[in-house]
Each structure stands twice: as C-alpha cells, then as structure tokens.
Structure 1
Amino acid sequence: MLTEGYDWFRSSSKLDSRLKKELLTTYGELRGIPCIFQQKWLRLATRFKKYPVIITCRDGLAEEDWTEVEKIITQCGCKRGKRFPGLGMATMVVNINAMQKLIDCRQVVRITYDREIKALLHVAAPTVKADFLWEQKYTGKGIRVAVLDTGVYPHPDLIKPNNRLVGFVDLVKNKSQPYDDNGHGTHVAGCIAGNGQQSQGKYKGPAYGADIIGIKVLNKFGDGSLSTVISGINWCINSKEKIHAICMSLGSPAESPAQYDPVCQAVRKAWQKGIVVCVAAGNDGPQERTIASPGIEPAVITVGATDDRRTSDRQDDLVASFSSRGPTIDGIVKPDVVSPGTGIIALLSPGSFLAKTLKEQKIGEWYLPMSGTSMATPIVVGLVAQLLEQHPNWSPDQVKEELLAKAEDMGVSAFHQGQGYVRIDK
C-alpha cells in the first residue's frame, strides 16, 4: 500500500466520510509544497499527523484480538484511549501509518472520526396530557432517568422537598459534585422532572416524581465529542443502579448509516439492555433529510418539536420550523413523534453560560424559556417515566409502541411528524 496515493483511504469501506475528508485535507496540503520536498513531508505527515478516532471491532472480540489491535497502535507510536468491551469499541489517537494497518486488520470493522457533538438548543406538560396520568397518581416515582448533557445543577425543583438528583457523573472535568456551567442540561432535567417548587407548581415536568442522574458529556459551551457521549452511554449500561431511561438532547450531523455510526451502535446496545432511549431529532429544519445522529438509529425514540403557540389547545399547533425532518440518511421515517419545543419554561442554572447570555429572558430567579428539539425530547422522556411507573415490566419496544399508537396525526408528512403529536390520554 503506497502512502503517496489517495486510493488507500478513498476506496476503503472501513473509514467514515468525515475521516476521509480529514485525510483529503491533509493530502491536499501537498499542493503548496515544492515537489522536491513532498516525499519528506509525506513521511513526516504519516508519522506525526494525528487523528482522534473511534475503532469499532467485530462482535464478540476476544481479549487476544484486542491485543492485536492495540499492538498496531503501540508499534506506530500512537495513543491508546478508553476501551468499551461491551460495545466492541475503543477510542484512540492514530497517525496515517496506524490507520493503514488498522484497515488491513481483520478485527476492525469501522474507523470513525471522533467528531464534535452539540447540545441541540434553538405550557408543555398539559399539552401532551401528562396530567391524565397525574390524576392516576403516576409521576415517574421510582424511575431513574439519565440526562446526558452539560450537567445538572442542584436546583430547588429537583432537590426539594426531597433530593431527586440522585447521581452525577462528570466525564468532562471529573468533578464529584453536581454542576452545570452551560445550563442546557439543567433545563432539560427540569422539562422531565422539575416539580415546580419555586413556582408554586406552575412550571413542572411530566415526571415530577422521577429521579435524575446527571451525566456531563458536554462542556461549558455545549460542545463535546462522540467518544465522551459513548462513555456516558456505556456508564448507563453498566450502572449498578438500574437506569430506566436516557435523555439525549444532543446530536451531530449524520455522516454514516446507523449501522456504522458508533453512537447509534451504543444507544442500540442500551436499548437492547432494557433502557428506553429518547433522542432529539435536531434543529436543522425545515429541510428534509436533516435528522441528526444518533436520532437516525431505528430502535430509539426520535423526537421532533412542535410550536404550541403558548396554548394547551393542540388544534393550533404546527411542526416547528426548526425541527429536523426525515427521512434519515438510511431512508427510514424519522422523527417517531413530535412534542412541544418552543418557548418551554424550565429550570435555570445560576451563573451558567446560558443564564448570562439569556439573562434578559429570565423568569424570576429560577426559570428560563428555551426552544429546540432539546426541549421536546425531555418532555417525551417524562411521559416515558410515567408509563414505566405504571407498567414497570414493559420493555423499551413496548413503551415505544404505546407512544406511537397514541400519537395524534397532525395532518402533515410522516417525515415531519412521525406518528404525530405525542399524547398518553387516548
């Protein structure tokens, strides 16, 4: 295999499209280098130019096979990262030499660029009829929901009168105490399980009795990496305490089919392990084919947003203009359902990035209105928690079937609304 040519990576089915673009950029730098120096530059580039990647290996990989993969990394002077044996993945920082050898390694199925992933930010509970189950005393009590986001601040609506922020994992700064320096994750947690403590019950989520585990995978500015998000999902799968649902109001442009997307593979595994996963569709509408990853994963519940026009009457609702539309990169119908996602009032994290940048929109000391499929998704997660309290033995598939069966058709394309407006009172 000649390093000088482009064919080794252009023709490889093991490299994702983003990684190929990065390699093309590297090789494109040759154009500005005199011919007599190009060979030397290539030798240096193949050794010292590094790429953060996620290596996906075949299912059921034995320990000795992992050793073979890691041996390649070590021999090429590259850095081994974190392994996720249950997912068949590992994070690594590799050079071109290592990449060429990994392509030829029979154990390696896919090499994905560890690209950026972002928080998807762009009157709700009564609109989806959460109060129907409130009347039957279902508030999500005993259900543990993991919020993979920017963290969760210990807001009074989550910790009073009883502390329901029962866990916190920081995969960004490794702090032990819960915090949210961005504010997005706290707002999301409130959309799920805020109890309205500071608003006399006015601003509360569908599952105001549920427990929250904050898993910080995004930084102060709402940015993160695929590998950090996968770490968060892996934590949920292996948690000693049962995690019933995962809320992921985050995403990145879908660049590979779900079959090869590492975050899709991770949420699929969580689903198979009995965890209901709800994912934001994305905020790149109204164009079609804009569903973000991991919302393209067929198994999970992908949520689009509606504009409820600040009323609880569904008759005047529209699919929000920003809500991403299907079909997915694989051609399947997504989102699965839609839910209120405009001007949603929920919890504020004091001193956070969003508290400072949106300070003029604050409602009192403790609340903030925000819009996006980021807000629509946790409302659906709240409904999921209510259903799981009511039907504790239901599988993720049964929960999804119930939500889709009761969704109300809005009279628009399935690529815009999925099965329709989520509701649980039918």
Structure 2
Amino acid sequence: MSNNKLCPVLNAKIMAQSIEEVPVIIQLNENNRNLIKNVSNLSSKVKADLPLIGGIAGNMSTDIIYRLSTTPEVDYISFDSNVYALLDVATPTMEAYFPHEKGYDGNGISVAVIDTGVAPHDDLVKPTNRIISFMDFVNNKEKPYDDNGHGTHVAGIIAGNGYSSRGKYVGIAPKSNIIGIKALDENGGGSTSDIIAALSYCIEMKDKYNIKIINLSLGTPATHNPEKDPLVKAVEKCVEAGIIVVTAAGNSGPSARTILSPGISKEVITVGAVDDKRTIDPSDDTIAPFSSRGPTPEGLQKPDLVAPGVNINSISHSKLDSYTSLSGTSMATPLVSGSLALLLNKHTNLSPKEFKSMLTNACMPLNEDKESQGYGMLNLRVLFNSKDDPAEQEPIKSNILGLSDDTLETVIMLLVVLFLLDSRI
C-alpha cells in the first residue's frame, strides 16, 4: 500500500524493498521548523536548508525515509529529481516593434534567468554591462559564465541589444537588466533543490536588484500533486512576494497531459511554443510538435499562452560576439519574460495576477485547441494598444482575409515587387 506522504518514486523504491541511499527533499509542517537539526542528523549528506518551502534537502537511506514518513511532523518527502533545460523573425511575429516605437524597452527592469549561467556577451555588456548580478549554485564561481549556452541564449532573447549584429538580432527588452543565476550544470541538468535555492535567492534580492520577473526555461515531470510539489510551492512563494514567474510548458508534446513542473502551477505563466515557419505573417503559424500539451493532471488549462519557439536566433556563449539558433519552449518563454519587462515600463504597480490577465487578454488564437495553445499567441500590438480609457483604444483593423491593414499592405507591396520583377525577366 502506498504512503501518501511519499512521492511515487520513493513509494516504488520502498515497495521494492530497496536499501539504497537517495537524494530527497523533506517538507516539514509549518510549526516544526525546529526539527530541521534532528532531521539533518539522519542524513549522510545535508545539501541545503530550504526555508522557502519549510524543508531540507539531503541524502537518506530508504529505511530512514520510510520511518520519517510515519511521523506527524513530516508533511511530504519527495525524490530530489532532475530538472533540465528545455530573433530576427520571432520578434516581428509578436510585433515587438510596436512597444519599442512607443518608448518601452525594459529600461530599469531586472529579469532573473535561472538556468545554465549567462556569458558576458557583447549584446549584454556593451556599451553598458547589464548583467548586474551573478550567482552560481553549481560551481560557486563569482564572475558570469555559461558552460552550456542555454542560459546565455535565453538571456539574449530577453535583453540582447543587437550590439554585435548592428541591430539585426535584438531581444524583446533590449535595455532590461539580467540577474544570472546558474542552477543547471554544463549538461543542462540540475536538481530540484538547487532551483528552489535559486528561487529563494530571487526573493532575498528582489528589492536590491529590482527583480520583477523570473524566467524558468526548465522543468521536470509533474509527478506530484501541486499542493505537495516542492517546485510549485517555491514558485508560488515567489508570486506571493510580488515576482512574476514565467516558465516553459516543456518539450514533451504532442501528447496530452505533458506539462512539466513548475508549469502546472496555476499562479505562474506557462508558455508553449509556436512554429512561425520563418515568416512574419502569423497566419501560417502552428503549435510546434514538441510543445507540451495540457491539461495538467488536475485538469487545469495549460499552457496559458504560446510564443515563437522554433529556430530562434540569439546570442552564443562560445564566442562573445556571435549568434546561434535554438528551438524549444525554452526559447518561447523568454519572449514572454521580455514582453513583461516592457509592460512593467508602462504599469508599475500591478500584481503578478493582473499582469498575467493582461497577457492572456492580448493573445491571438491560432487554429489550434486550447490544450495546445491556451489563450493563443501573445501579440504586443494588442497588449500595448490598450489605454487607460477604453474609448481611446486604437482598433486593430482587419479585412476579409483576416489580416491587419499593416500586414495586408506589406503583402500587396511584395506582390507588386514580384510582378515587376517577373515583368523584367
């Protein structure tokens, strides 16, 4: 018979009478934080105190794990599972130029990128260094670096200013600041406990560095009830503290119910990926086959929205003036984080819940079901077209083809050019 205080992985090991030692996260009841020391004494290796979720991470034998699970002071014990990492076309597809033209560029807003690190690419440090803080939970190094490249790519999608490409590859919020937090190793993997420690750091430093957004282009299979899931509990503490959390849906599609944790949380903004077919016109966009689908195991509609995530150009960690292309919901997520940095230039005192509502109301539905796209693809023209007085809003005109007038005008001009070229041949 399974123990409801143990995650499925630990239940399986104990039912199989395994005698191995495994990494675990123990969550204690709120009134029993004083037991941390006693629990620590039972661990062969204490990895971290996790006050954010009232817990501790360490290595324990399965017999001790079972005994602890029978004590009333222990709320839940989970396997310290592995977490893994999951612009020239993507930016115009979302119409990012629209808020830029209105003067919104993310200036002064800090985005925490919890990932494989952030390399000091020219697009982030020239002419001004915008990597304003760096924390390393893997190798304890002090200076910014990235031995994988995933985190650097993500940071460039958010905040790259196009310095090395003469403006060709520009991130969504090119004047925003980056808080680089390395919690994933050179292979793009890490532990749940390290991600929780990184989230705790964000709360601790949010006022010092003006951290408004946390980008989590990572995830782990959702094997826990959200009320017990340590990652979900940690991100929801961040939201409580007033930080917007944006997380990847996962790359486990096209099967249903494949949303990763912490994307299963109702409080975070969960982002799926669109294949924009390398065109600016969104009429041919489809959900990328790899993008995880909802609903969550509890029936919650996820993802919340989608953004381009196929062949996204951004900065490279290997050569600090070069670019590379990657695909995944990891790439779609920072497009949304960057959009929020722009929005925070316009609205300074809204709650994470209100920001989330603004985003979902600014989505353009694709010809897909809600389990794949949520509310649809984020469109920044729609997001920034709203004014305080609804009567002053500029309507987005459409025509019989369902295109905006700007898009239709571009299509007509291209057809005219093609006709003229064909006439000259």
What is the percent sequence identity of the aligned residues?
A: 44
Which one of the candidate residues 405, 408, 419 is aligned to 2:361?
405
Matched, 1:22 2:13: yes
Q: CA deviation at 1:258?
A: 1.4
Q: How does 1:384-395 map to 2 (within 5 A)?
A: 384-395=340-351
Which one of the candidate residues 68, 72, 78 is aligned to 1:102?
68
Task: Find the counterpart in structure 2 of residue 425 from structure 1.
Answer: 381
Tell me if the contact between 1:73 and 1:98 (Cα under 8 Å) persists in the aligned partners. no
| Aligned AA (1:205) | G
Q: Scaled by the length of structure 1, what TM-score is found? A: 0.86
Aligned-residue CA RMSD (Å): 1.5
Q: CA deviation at 1:256?
A: 1.0
Q: Deviations over 1:162-203 (max 9, x none)?
A: 110111000000000000000000000001010110111110
Bigger drift between 96-105 and 342-351 goes to 96-105
Task: Find the counterpart in structure 2 of residue 396 from structure 1.
Answer: 352
Q: CA deviation at 1:21?
A: 2.7
Provide the C-alpha distance between the structure 2 equivalents of 1:86 and 1:152, rounded to a whole number of angstroms: 25
Provide the C-alpha distance between the structure 2 equivalents of 1:376 and 1:138, rounded to a whole number of angstroms: 20
Task: Find the counterpart in structure 2 of residue 33 from structure 1.
Answer: none
Q: CA deviation at 1:107?
A: 2.1
Q: Deviations over 1:230-286 (max 9, x none)?
A: 111111011143310000000111111211110011001101100000000001111
Which one of the candidate residues 356, 368, 376 is aligned to 2:324?
368
| Aligned AA (2:101) | E
SS in 2 for 1:310: coil
Which one of the candidate residues 187, 197, 212 is aligned to 1:231?
197
Task: Find the counterpart in structure 2 of residue 414 from structure 1.
Answer: 370
Q: CA deviation at 1:392?
A: 1.1
Q: CA deviation at 1:320?
A: 0.6
Task: Find the counterpart in structure 1 of residue 79 from structure 2.
Answer: 113
SS in 2 for 1:425: helix
Provide the C-alpha distance between the structure 1 equivalents of 2:34 and 2:333, rounded to a whole number of angstroms: 40
Task: Find the counterpart in structure 1 of residue 400 from structure 2.
Answer: none
Q: CA deviation at 1:350?
A: 1.0
Task: Find the counterpart in structure 1 of residue 185 from structure 2.
Answer: 219
Q: CA deviation at 1:302?
A: 0.2
Provide the C-alpha distance between the structure 1 equivalents of 2:268 and 2:127, rounded to a whole number of angstroms: 33
Tell me if the contact between 2:2 and 2:11 (Cα under 8 Å) persists in the aligned partners. no
Tell me if the contact between 1:72 and 1:101 (Cα under 8 Å) persists in the aligned partners. no
Task: Find the counterpart in structure 1 of residue 334 from structure 2.
Answer: 378
Provide the C-alpha distance between the structure 1 equivalents of 2:365 and 2:136, rounded to a whole number of angstroms: 40
| Aligned AA (2:358) | E
Would the alpha carbon gap of residues 423 and 112 (structure 1) be closer, same or farther in structure 2, given more than 3 Å must change?
same
Matched, 1:156 2:122: yes
Matched, 1:71 2:38: yes
What is the total number of aligned residue pairs between the two structures?
A: 378
Q: How does 1:74-93 map to 2 (within 5 A)?
A: 74=41, 76=42, 78-93=44-59
Task: Find the counterpart in structure 1 of residue 401 from structure 2.
Answer: none
Task: Find the counterpart in structure 2 of residue 260 from structure 1.
Answer: 228
Q: Scaled by the length of structure 2, what TM-score is found? A: 0.86
Task: Find the counterpart in structure 2 of residue 58 from structure 1.
Answer: 29
Which one of the candidate residues 138, 143, 146 is aligned to 2:109?
143
Provide the C-alpha distance between the structure 1 equivalents of 2:40 and 2:102, rounded to a whole number of angstroms: 57
Provide the C-alpha distance between the structure 2 equivalents of 1:82 and 1:320, rounded to a whole number of angstroms: 37
Q: Deviations over 1:317-341 (max 9, x none)?
A: 0011110000112111000000000
Provide the C-alpha distance between the structure 2 equivalents of 1:257 and 1:278, rounded to a whole number of angstroms: 20
Provide the C-alpha distance between the structure 2 equivalents of 1:320 and 1:220, rounded to a whole number of angstroms: 26
SS in 1 for 2:48: strand
Q: Deviations over 1:53-90 (max 9, x none)?
A: 1111223x3xxx3333532442x463333212232121
| Aligned AA (2:368) | V
Would the alpha carbon gap of residues 208 and 277 (structure 1) be closer, same or farther in structure 2, given more than 3 Å must change?
same
Provide the C-alpha distance between the structure 2 equivalents of 1:135 and 1:77, rounded to a whole number of angstroms: 57
Q: Deviations over 1:88-114 (max 9, x none)?
A: 121121123321332122221110100
Provide the C-alpha distance between the structure 2 equivalents of 1:373 and 1:379, rounded to a whole number of angstroms: 10
Which one of the candidate residues 336, 341, 346 is aligned to 2:314?
346
Which one of the candidate residues 180, 188, 194 is aligned to 2:154?
188
Matched, 1:307 2:275: yes
Provide the C-alpha distance between the structure 2 equivalents of 1:180 and 1:81, rounded to a whole number of angstroms: 23
SS in 2 for 1:244: strand
Matched, 1:297 2:265: yes
SS in 1 for 2:184: coil
Tell me if the contact between 2:286 and 2:368 (Cα under 8 Å) persists in the aligned partners. no
Provide the C-alpha distance between the structure 2 equivalents of 1:322 and 1:412, rounded to a whole number of angstroms: 14
Would the alpha carbon gap of residues 101 and 398 (structure 1) be closer, same or farther in structure 2, given more than 3 Å must change?
same
Bigger drift between 410-419 and 149-158 goes to 410-419
Tell me if the contact between 2:14 and 2:66 (Cα under 8 Å) persists in the aligned partners. no
Task: Find the counterpart in structure 1 of residue 407 from structure 2.
Answer: none
| Aligned AA (1:203) | Y
Task: Find the counterpart in structure 2 of residue 30 from structure 1.
Answer: none
